[in-house]
Structure 1
Amino acid sequence: MERKHSLISQCVRTKTINNVMKKSPLSLENIVAKTNVKLGGLNYNIILENYPIDPNVLFIGLGMNHPAGGMADPDGPRVTSVSVLGFSANDGILPNEFIGNFFFQPMSRDENVGVLDTLLVEVLERFKLNRKCAPSRVIFYRSGCSEGAYGSVLRYEIPIIDAVVKKYAPSAPITVIIPSKMHSFRFFKKNINASDRSDDQNIRPGSVIDGVVVNNSYAEFFLNSHLAIQGTAKTPKYTIIYSTEKDASLDMFERWTNALCYDFQIVTSPTSLPAPVYIANRYAERGRQIYNTFPNSAKINKTTGRNKK
């Protein structure tokens, strides 16, 4: 309905309706929050007393979804696969309004984003249209990248980011951060009461580790923003692989990243990843579901990778 006719819809299962009829306030609040966001509204705002976020900072999140296996090509007998690139950015009228979409691109062995220039142009043009100014700084959360691919990102993607951003915002400093859960580190409280619940045994939301276990080659920190209610919390790692900032501190990036984990809008609890990345991953998942269900509706442009309708 939404993709074909551009009509906003909200799918509600019978089980959910039954919960609402039984006077479940949480279910009803969730439906209202989702619908409000779909209609262009915001449910709450983020205010930081220390290190307040400049309203003209552009946050961009990128998430990748790779296929588990090949899919039959409807135009021929060979098997093809596509990667789905989801993205989101606060390029709307309001500073914490994240807008996103997804692209299809041919899957390759490397993890580079083939549509990066197209994506950045779209985001920066929409930012200038809605805000009537250029971004004061650009912070790019580039998810879906393994540590072994850092060199490839630095060689191929950073020059594209630099070139496009300088065209639209020549004086804006650029920072590229790689969030990742693909590591084996686990963090625990020093003193744990075995009789406590799992969420009380885990480290608290907002916990930061930026020494001893971090990479010496890059500015890096671990941030546990979410509340794990079952099992041991898997704390994401954030690696700043590139930055042209001169005055920013690591503490600022840590605080801003943590604040963005409270900006998902649909729920009031913090997410494990900052909103631009979390939303980008959701768009990538949506694109994968659409492609798997309607592969003929999304032809891939071999040059740009953009999905054509």
Structure 2
Amino acid sequence: MDLVNKLMQEGHQCGMNWSGALEPYEMPSGNDWKTQDTFMMERLGIDVVKKMRPGFIFAIFDRGADRQYSDFKSGMDNFFGIPGQGLLCDTVERSPRGCVENIMYKVNVKFGGNNNQLTENTLNSLKLLHRLFMVVGISLSHGKTKDDKAKCSYAGFVGSMDDSFLRWSTETASVVSNEALLPDISGQMERLLQTYKENVGNFPEVMAVYRDGVTHTHENELHGNDILCLRKTFTKLGITVELVLIVVNMMHRTRFFRKPNADSMGEPIYSKDNIPPGLIVDDVVVDPFGDDFYLASHRGLLGTSRPIRYHILNQRRYDQHYA
């Protein structure tokens, strides 16, 4: 119940109105998880959902219970229609700094809330382009599971729907397990563009695509894959778009630290604080032949901050006649 109290306390501080927590429900484990024809998730629906009528469900799983977690997500999203959040038992017991706050961020999003908002100055700076601007994010999820039946990879797509960057449309696609390159994504991109046009009135003139899930060795292969699919989409819709494709990568070993100060004897004094958020490094340690930079976009709560590497792979204007 200590976790429940922490969640309720953090929720109240974030402006969430909690009407009260129900008693924990312990589910069977091991071989009892699946009977001959009935999943334990269905029993959970009978014993908990129908009787207690919760508005949100937290489920705590032991490490390695991948199938249980998969069934929980599927049951909550597709069968019961109740938002839920799965947690690892190890995480709950250790309760590292920032853990409860991070959980509440996810809960807020699942209730339709907004965790981040661009400042008025930032929005105005984007509008100074005097052009219709769209942002697209593409990410891959390979999953970490020992269950061969549950192994699969998925690609998620999000696209801004207007110039407020607060409303986003989504698309998904299944891909070959553990593959960094995507299949033909023309259909997903076309639907995102059509959604943008329905809300704004026209197709975007500038599109910034942030691509995740690609290692440094596979970045150049995106020219014959993602960029080619985007060009096909622009040609099909008969539009002219300035495309900026940025590869986002956290799988690197580059770290930055604050410059040490000197004491009275001239000896360096190293700070234990992380680098400040907003730090950009675009010289000395970057690729001399590429267009990349490192950005520390947020404050590190635990451990050493890992800056994100951004590589501007493409910045070119495409129209329906581009060959």
Are the aligned partners of 2:172 and 2:188 in contact in 1 as well (CA < 8 Å)?
no
Give the 3 Å change call, closer, same or farther, for CA 5–186 of structure 1 in structure 2.
Answer: same
Structural mapping, 1:290-309, within 5 Å: none
Amino acid at match of 2:306: K
Are the aligned partners of 1:105 and 1:115 in contact in 2 as well (CA < 8 Å)?
no
Give the 3 Å change call, closer, same or farther, for CA 213–169 of structure 1 in structure 2.
Answer: farther
Give the 3 Å change call, closer, same or farther, for CA 10–113 of structure 1 in structure 2.
Answer: same
Give the 3 Å change call, closer, same or farther, for CA 48–166 of structure 1 in structure 2.
Answer: farther
Please tell me whether residue 114 in structure 1 is matched to residue 183 in structure 2: yes
Q: Give the C-alpha shift of residue 69 in structure 1.
A: 5.7
Amino acid at match of 1:225: S
Picking from 302, 312, 317, the partner of 1:230 is 302
Q: Give the C-alpha shift of residue 114 in structure 1.
A: 1.1
Q: Structure 2 unaligned runs (5+)?
A: 1-74, 88-100, 262-267, 319-323
Moved more, 213-222 or 43-52: 43-52
Give the 3 Å change call, closer, same or farther, for CA 34–159 of structure 1 in structure 2.
Answer: closer
Name the structure 1 match of 2:154: 84
Name the structure 1 match of 2:221: 152
Q: Give the C-alpha shift of residue 123 in structure 1.
A: 0.8
Name the structure 2 match of 1:19: none
Which is higher, the Rg of structure 1 or of structure 2?
2
Supply the distance in 1 between the matched residues of 2:307 and 2:234 (Cα, whole angstroms).
Answer: 31
Structural mapping, 1:157-168, within 5 Å: 157-168=226-237
Structural mapping, 1:50-65, within 5 Å: 52-54=125-127, 56-65=132-141
Give the 3 Å change call, closer, same or farther, for CA 9–169 of structure 1 in structure 2.
Answer: farther
Give the 3 Å change call, closer, same or farther, for CA 29–141 of structure 1 in structure 2.
Answer: closer
- Which structure carries more relative contact order (alpha carbon 8 Å, separation 6+)? 1
Supply the distance in 2 between the matched residues of 1:50 and 1:127 (Cα, whole angstroms).
Answer: 17
Please tell me whether residue 191 in structure 1 is matched to residue 260 in structure 2: yes
Picking from 165, 171, 176, the partner of 2:245 is 176
Q: Give the C-alpha shift of residue 43 in structure 1.
A: 6.8
Supply the distance in 2 between the matched residues of 1:148 and 1:106 (Cα, whole angstroms).
Answer: 18
Are the aligned partners of 1:92 and 1:99 in contact in 2 as well (CA < 8 Å)?
no
Count of residues paired in the alignment:
223
Q: Give the C-alpha shift of residue 67 in structure 1.
A: 4.0
Amino acid at match of 1:96: L
Give the 3 Å change call, closer, same or farther, for CA 165–225 of structure 1 in structure 2.
Answer: same
Q: Percent identity?
A: 18
Q: Give the C-alpha shift of residue 60 in structure 1.
A: 0.7
Give the 3 Å change call, closer, same or farther, for CA 206–124 of structure 1 in structure 2.
Answer: same
Name the structure 2 match of 1:209: 281
Q: Give the C-alpha shift of residue 227 in structure 1.
A: 0.7
Name the structure 2 match of 1:48: 121
Supply the distance in 2 between the matched residues of 1:202 and 1:222 (Cα, whole angstroms).
Answer: 15
Supply the distance in 1 between the matched residues of 2:115 and 2:275 (Cα, whole angstroms).
Answer: 30
Q: Give the C-alpha shift of residue 140 in structure 1.
A: 0.4
Q: Give the C-alpha shift of residue 138 in structure 1.
A: 0.6
Q: Give the C-alpha shift of residue 191 in structure 1.
A: 2.2
Are the aligned partners of 2:153 and 2:177 in contact in 1 as well (CA < 8 Å)?
yes
Please tell me whether residue 239 in structure 1 is matched to residue 308 in structure 2: no
Q: Give the C-alpha shift of residue 5 in structure 1.
A: 5.6
Supply the distance in 2 between the matched residues of 1:102 and 1:49 (Cα, whole angstroms).
Answer: 29
Are the aligned partners of 2:169 and 2:195 in contact in 1 as well (CA < 8 Å)?
no
Amino acid at match of 1:34: V
Q: Describe the SS at the equivalent of 1:231.
A: coil
Name the structure 2 match of 1:102: 172
Q: Give the C-alpha shift of residue 182 in structure 1.
A: 1.4
Amino acid at match of 2:78: K
Give the 3 Å change call, closer, same or farther, for CA 169–221 of structure 1 in structure 2.
Answer: farther
Give the 3 Å change call, closer, same or farther, for CA 50–124 of structure 1 in structure 2.
Answer: closer
Name the structure 1 match of 2:56: none
Q: Give the C-alpha shift of residue 240 in structure 1.
A: 0.6
Moved over 6 A (4+): 26-29
Q: Structure 1 unaligned runs (5+)?
A: 14-25, 74-79, 247-309
Give the 3 Å change call, closer, same or farther, for CA 10–159 of structure 1 in structure 2.
Answer: same
Name the structure 2 match of 1:219: 291
Q: Tell me the TM-score normalized by structure 2.
A: 0.58
Name the structure 2 match of 1:269: none
Amino acid at match of 1:60: V
Q: Give the C-alpha shift of residue 32 in structure 1.
A: 8.3
Give the 3 Å change call, closer, same or farther, for CA 166–207 of structure 1 in structure 2.
Answer: farther
